[in-house]
Amino acid sequence: MFGFLYIFNPMLWLDSRERQIQALYLLIFIGGIFIRIWAAIISHGFAHPDEHYQILEPAHGLSYGYWQASWEWVSGIRSFVPPQLFSFLIDTYRSIFKTEDPLRMIFFIRLFCGLCSLVILVAVYRVGRFLETERNRGWISLPSVFITSICSTFVYYGVHPLSESLSTYWIALGVIGYFYSLEQKNVAYQSGIAFIIGLCVGLAFSFRFQAGLFGVSFALLYVLEGRWKAFLFFVGGSLICLGLYGLYDVSMGRPFLGSALGYFEFNIMQSGASQWGVQPWHRYITSLNRFFTLPLALWILIGALLSLHPAIFSKSKKLWLIILPFWLVHNLIGHKEDRFIFPVLPWIVVLAVYGWSYWIRNRKLKTKVMLSAAYFLVMTVSVIYGYAHSSWKHHGFFTTEMAKLSKKKQLESLAVFGTLHSGSYFYLHQNIPLFHFSDLNHAKKERFKEKVGREFKSVIALNHSGKIPESLLPENIQCVLDAKMKRLYHCELSK
């Protein structure tokens, strides 16, 4: 909201250079819209099992009354706010389009997420304009928007309903509000904005608990700036949102703030997440290579370090304070995954552009042209490589086949081999008995053949680890989906 008030200020259009900057910004922004629509169309499957089991599957349960609850939900350590949002989207889709097709439904959800992700473009543009001077107008804001608009990382995470990206949008709104407030002289107005920022941080926390660390960032900024009234309003907005979330927890049959406290106890006090692996301290530095590919990752890393130069640090320190609490705490936790650090990526990009813009501004024209050409070459190579190697259809075979099977009304039950890759009831879309086995050894251990043969008239087996041995299949099996070979066999329903 604050960013749009600034960006489309008609008084700025009296300046011809300003018209050029805003015209380019608008062009990049529109390009970002079309790229995200395209990504929503071509994406199938899900980026990570958490995208399904922490978002889509519980959302399906809220809308339809049946779902496959993963261990986090059984333990009560996940927020129901993201599933509640997508449950509302599912109900909205059903009421408008009068269809139950899960593949069309997920496209509707991805399109919604992609459009929400555009707030990142507004935020980096707004921050870039703050960092610019009269001499280098457009040199920070436009490259920052360009990277976040077309880079495959921001597009990929933008169209997938992950809690990391969803919480980032609320933080982006808070960042827009904070930098907008720096231009306001009225203390009461600043305090009102701080209250809204507190609400944004609280909402980000309700989508992903770790996002609450950005509350520490904003609080530090207000304290260091001596804006005590704004600080109190920020804390007030955050506490109100936190209290409302606690009441929502109670409405879902949990203790007040029980999910957040349970999450903290399991992941921090007990180091429970470490059972899925402990990664080295440099994981989140090397992750830049996986996010952006090596050439652009090096450019971003060096540029961010250049932003620490004393001549420009007075401005860049605000962004560093926004990043560091979140970054440092995640580095202290043993279990690390690249996606965990996504909420700080937009601000690292802005810092990188800021650092490089300072370094080249006093160079000769020939040097500036060469460096600019090198930058666009690096961007082009990295963007093409990123789009070519992004898993736009990750797990797509499973979800597509599950959606096809959802239309087979004679289907009586389903056994899933490879729990994390199947998609469960959201894609199956039938309230029938559902078995889950992590692999063939698990199936043998659980006496799959005898159990299924005794308790079910028929079953479909979905396998992700190779062809299921005939000796393991009960006589009454209807169909086997071999995901490794990507074909159906022993299947009556496919006829």
- Asked if residue 494 is part of any domain, the answer here is no
Determine the pLDDT at residue 481: 59
Same domain, 434 and 286: no
Instruction: Clarify whether residues 45 and 64 are in a common domain.
Output: yes
Q: Which of 389, 419, 439 marks a domain boundary?
A: 389
Residue ranges making up the domain that contains 97: 2-389
Residue 471 lies in a domain: yes
Residue 301 one-letter amino acid: L
298 within domain boundaries? yes
Q: How far is CA 258 from CA 77, 251, 254, 285, 457, in A?
A: 7, 11, 6, 33, 41
In this structure, the answer to whether residues 79 and 215 fall within a common structural domain is yes
Q: What is the pLDDT of residue 12?
A: 47
For residues 212, 341, 57 and 433, what is the CA-based torsion angle, rounded to 10 degrees?
A: -120
Predicted confidence at residue 151, as pLDDT, reads 93
- Tally of CA atoms within 13 A in the half-sphere of 170 that contains its CB: 27
pLDDT in tens, the chain (495 residues): 334 334 444 444 445 888 889 999 999 999 999 999 999 999 888 777 788 888 999 999 999 999 988 888 988 999 999 999 999 999 999 999 988 899 999 999 999 999 999 999 999 999 999 999 888 888 899 999 999 999 999 999 999 999 999 999 999 999 999 999 998 889 999 999 999 999 999 999 999 999 999 999 999 999 999 999 999 999 999 999 999 999 999 999 999 999 999 999 988 878 777 777 788 888 999 999 999 988 899 999 999 999 999 999 999 999 999 999 999 999 988 889 999 999 999 999 999 999 998 888 777 777 777 877 877 788 788 888 888 877 788 777 778 878 887 887 777 777 776 555 667 889 888 888 777 766 666 666 666 666 666 665 556 655 555 556 666 666 666 666 555 555 555 555 544
Is the distance from CB of 205 to CB of 242 less than 8 angstroms? Answer: yes
Q: Is residue 408 part of a domain?
A: yes
Among 361, 389, 417, the domain boundary falls at 389
Single-letter code of the amino acid located at 242? L
CB-CB contact of 254 with 72 (8 Å): no
Q: Which two tokens stand for residue 198?
A: 């507190």
Q: Roughly what angle, to the nearest 10 degrees, separates helices 163-181 and 102-116? A: 20
Q: Does residue 220 lie within any of the structural domains?
A: yes
Look at the block and give the residue holding tokens 């909201």.
Answer: 1
- Split into its structural domains, the chain has a count of 2
Same structural domain, 405 and 364:
no
The pLDDT of residue 391 is: 78
Are 16 and 128 part of one and the same domain?
yes
Query: Is 103 part of a structural domain of the chain?
Result: yes
Task: Note whether 319 and 460 are same-domain residues.
Answer: no
Q: Are residues 326 and 347 in the same domain?
A: yes
Quick one: 139 and 108 in the same domain?
Answer: yes
Q: Of 334, 359, 389, which residue is a domain's last? A: 389
Both 368 and 455 in one domain: the answer is no
Element (H, E) at 435: strand 434-437
Which CATH number belongs to the domain containing residue 484 in this structure?
A: 3.40.1010
pTM above the 0.75 mark?
Answer: yes
414-417 and 434-437 strand pairing: parallel
On whether residue 495 sits in a domain, the answer given is no
Same domain, 142 and 249: yes
| CA distance linking residue 100 with residue 115, whole number of Å | 23
Q: Are residues 366 and 400 in the same domain?
A: no
pLDDT at 443: 64
C-alpha dist (Å) from residue 319 to 55, 127, 150, 221, 322: 30, 9, 22, 10, 5
pLDDT of residue 449: 66
Q: 3-class secondary structure for 279-315?
A: CCCCHHHHHHHHHHCHHHHHHHHHHHHHCCCCCCHHH
Q: Are residues 411 and 433 in the same domain?
A: yes
In a domain, 162, yes or no: yes
